[in-house]
Chains A and B, each alone.
Chain A
Amino acid sequence: QQQVKQSPQSLIVQKGGISIINCAYENTAFDYFPWYQQFPGKGPALLIAIRPDVSEKKEGRFTISFNKSAKQFSLHIMDSQPGDSATYFCAARTSGSRLTFGEGTQLTVNP
């Protein structure tokens, strides 16, 4: 019940395209859903986050779509750039700020 399922495992997109990463969860006690970006050899960096009372949040080229009834949420990266090539993790948080992470998606944006 604590799991967060993430797909796809890897994703290849052309420069300028849209990258879409999906996550699903079971635990309705999750109250906060952040996305992290991680480059090789670095720690995860917070990208964007959403709360379950909001269906969509946009920050620059990054958008989170949230479907509370389906217990699913997704990250959309518009106008993908080679510099966006990294591993992306969705996560979910219960009270007390413990994070449960998805398995990660390795994104490659070809020039």
Chain B
Amino acid sequence: DAGVTQSPTHLIKTRGQQVTLRCSPKSGHDTVSWYQQALGQGPQFIFQYYEEEERQRGNFPDRFSGHQFPNYSSELNVNALLLGDSALYLCASSPGSAQETQYFGPGTRLLVL
């Protein structure tokens, strides 16, 4: 049973560009959450998708957007990249029940130059 998978593992972009990160949830999980982890800090919640809709959103600008597909996989899009967007982007999945905890993928390391 594969856990949460993310692609790509590493990515280098320049300021102003756009990026798309991808996540496949753990088998049986239908809820996907995205987090940004800056170096030396704890993960910060970006948003959560359930039934192909954004269910919750953290304190991130509209440059951050997402999508969930019918197979529960998800994408995170970031437009107009800034240097400060350099971070590890983590995807976490969980079953639809709010009582279950989240399982994290290995992350995508994004470097903005």
Contacts and interface: CB of A to CB of B under 8 A. Distances in A.
Partners in one complex: yes
B90 A97 contact: no
A81 B56 CA distance: 39
Interface string A68-111: 00000000000000000000010101011111111110000000
Interface in B30-84: 31, 33, 35, 40-45, 48, 55-56, 58
Contacts of B55: 96
Contact of B98 (A45, A97, A104): A97
Contacts of A95: 98
Nearest to B47: A98
Contact of A101 (B42, B48, B101, B105): B42
Contact of B40 (A42, A99, A104): A104
B86 interface: no
Nearest to B90: A43
B101 A104 contact: no
B1 interface: no
Interface residues of A, number: 24
A12 interface: no
Interface of B: 4, 31, 33, 35, 40-45, 48, 55-56, 58, 90, 92, 94, 98-107
Top 10 nearest A-B pairs (CB, nearest first) are A101-B42, A43-B104, A43-B106, A44-B104, A43-B107, A101-B43, A98-B56, A104-B42, A89-B42, A43-B105
19 contacts: A34-B101, A36-B104, A42-B107, A43-B105, A46-B102, A49-B101, A89-B42, A96-B56, A97-B33, A97-B48, A97-B101, A98-B58, A99-B35, A99-B45, A99-B92, A101-B42, A101-B43, A101-B44, A102-B42
